[in-house]
A and B are shown apart, each in its own frame.
Chain A
Amino acid sequence: MKKSVGAVETKHFTFAEAEGFKLESGRTLGPITLVYETYGQLNADKSNAILVMHAFSGNAHVAGPATGDQDPAWWDFMVGPGSALDTDKYFVICINVIGGCKGSTGPSSINPKTGKPYGIDFPLITIADMVRTQKVLIDHLGIKKLHGVIGGSMGGMLALQWVACYPGTVECVIPIAATLKHSPQQIAFNEVGRQAIMADPAWKGGNYYGGPVPEKGLAVARMLGHITFMSNDSMEKKFSRRLKDDTHAFKFSADFEVEGYLQYRGMSFTKRFDANSYLYITKAMDFFDLSDSKWIPEGGLPGTRFLVIAFKSDWLYPSIQSQEMVKQLQMRRVDATYCETDSTYGHDTFLIESEAGKQEHLIKHFLAKRK
């Protein structure tokens, strides 16, 4: 049985109150609040910090028991005493991204100019904006160099973007089931999700705060998302063609278990996620593009090494995208390890505890200091 990381305090950090923070789009945002959690102890020379980057709908609560109406920790098996991100050794930090709805400043936050939620007056943000705001907090914590930056899916894109923005400030970079850019297929899935939200009359041009939320549209977006996170194999195992009530109702109700599951996941998502954040964050992911390799300095990245992990059954972020990443690193003579892990769970594999063993083994040993 895994040892728990113990009670965790959610912290807030606010900056850019006066001048605002200049975003990649040229617009400014401020003040910005970041919600974050830390686990373990920062050592005396501040050299043991690992920044965990969360995925699209994630939050700062990586590990430990949930308090109040907080979502359950999303990577509890990965972070804790003796775990791959060993809190006896490392100081683990996770910061909720801007644009989200889990405490950090996003479209549902109050716009100080109007006293009302931003809605779609919130500026468009990029993956680089998310990273640059996180850097302000890392600087504030007095950490000059991270031991590691790690994340799955969008978290992997954030990890890559960290190196792109701040080469030389991290030793170990671990993108999992990630990509250097979204393919047209990935953009297309995101666009269908966005259109579902915006087609919901309750969306009201993004001005729904205080009234009914566009839950139908958001639920459909999430249902689509869930299909892409699983694999055909894992859906076959989980649902096959099983019926919910052993009989066809000959109505357009959810006859199959898979339909009921998707409806349930879709609706429960609307209770914990903001539709406008869905629009902003998916757009940020679609804009992300490090495929031209210009982000790797001419002299390579001495002192930085990569562990790139992909999953064979992941068709949303197929392993070919991770291979492209590694090939780009090879071309620039950057130290990189690549492992494609067998798993039938699709894109979601990195979040599934029963599949954790292989990932944990790689990550734990990769993070160990080299001679």
Chain B
Amino acid sequence: MKSTIKRLDHQVICGIVESSAKVLDLGCGNGDLLQLLVERQGAKAQGVEVNNEAIHACVEKGLSVFHSDIDSGLPYYPDQSFDYVILNQSLQEVKKVETVIAEALRIGRKAIIGFSNFAHLEARIRMFFEGRAPIVSSLPYDWYSTPNLRFLSIKDFKSFCAAKDYKILAAHFLDTQGQVRVLPNLFAQNAIFVITK
């Protein structure tokens, strides 16, 4: 009996990735998601990660990981060498977003992109009524200490995909309890898109 997956975003991504898929996780952290994909989906998993301790944690889990930042770590992967390239909660920290997503779709058939929605109700209230820069509870950093370079909403991402001609194959919207069906740009804290060229 497999234990339940704690993180909702991980549950969703495990549901997206087919069994035995080849997966590259950009900004894989300590490898929790990759480990789930290996154990549950039999994925052939690799990661890219910049943090030293996180790399050690990945190796401890038996994962292959490349020590690099995402902005400079992709050009040598061959075209279409992965079924999925994952950017889960790592896009916000990327400097060259357009290049990284283009690269993700060059080396992967599909990209799974998960990010916090900065147009969530909570952030809007903070902005509108309190006059403070938006903070979302899924990424609770102050403006001066946040690692995030990018503050985007679900709408922003959709229009980005339209402008770049990327097809959205699936979209999942989450709050702390589960999937959000109504007005996701207002009520979802997290979004996970599956896109392709």
Distance of A216 Cα from B46 Cα, bound (Å): 51
Distance of A366 Cα from B61 Cα, bound (Å): 9
Structural contact, A371 and B62, CB atoms closer than 8 A: yes
Query: Which chain A residue shows the least CB distance to B56?
Result: A361
Report if A307 contacts B (CB, 8 A): yes
Query: Which chain B residue shows the least CB distance to A358?
Result: B56
When distances are taken between beta carbons in the complex, the residues of chain B under 8 Å from A358 are: 52, 56
Q: Which residues of A (319-366) have their CB < 8 Å from a CB of B?
A: 323, 326-328, 330-331, 333, 335-342, 358, 361-362, 365-366
Report if A305 contacts B (CB, 8 A): yes
Size of interface on A: residues with Cβ below 8 Å to B:
25
Structural contact, A333 and B78, CB atoms closer than 8 A: yes
When distances are taken between beta carbons in the complex, the residues of chain A under 8 Å from B56 are: 339, 358, 361-362
Size class of the B contact interface (CB-based, 8 Å): 10 to 19
When distances are taken between beta carbons in the complex, the residues of chain A under 8 Å from B60 are: 361, 365
Distance of A41 Cα from B65 Cα, bound (Å): 31
Structural contact, A366 and B77, CB atoms closer than 8 A: no
When distances are taken between beta carbons in the complex, the residues of chain B under 8 Å from A326 are: 66
Interface centre among B64, B65, B68, by most chain A C-beta atoms within 10 angstroms, is B64
Q: Which of B58, B62, B65, B78 contacts A368 (CB 8 A)?
A: B62
Structural contact, A331 and B62, CB atoms closer than 8 A: no
Report if B76 contacts A (CB, 8 A): yes
Report if B81 contacts A (CB, 8 A): yes
Report if B16 contacts A (CB, 8 A): no
Interface centre among B52, B60, B76, B78, by most chain A C-beta atoms within 10 angstroms, is B76
Distance of A327 Cα from B73 Cα, bound (Å): 9
CB within 8 Å for A335 and B64 given contacts A330-B77, A342-B52, A362-B56:
yes
| Nearest 10 Cβ contacts at the A-B interface | A327-B76, A330-B76, A365-B60, A337-B64, A338-B67, A365-B59, A339-B67, A370-B62, A338-B66, A339-B55
30 contacts between A and B (CB under 8 A): A305-B64, A326-B66, A327-B76, A330-B66, A330-B76, A330-B78, A331-B76, A331-B77, A331-B78, A333-B78, A333-B81, A335-B46, A335-B64, A336-B64, A336-B66, A337-B55, A337-B63, A337-B64, A337-B65, A338-B68, A339-B52, A339-B55, A339-B67, A340-B52, A342-B52, A358-B52, A361-B59, A362-B56, A362-B59, A368-B62
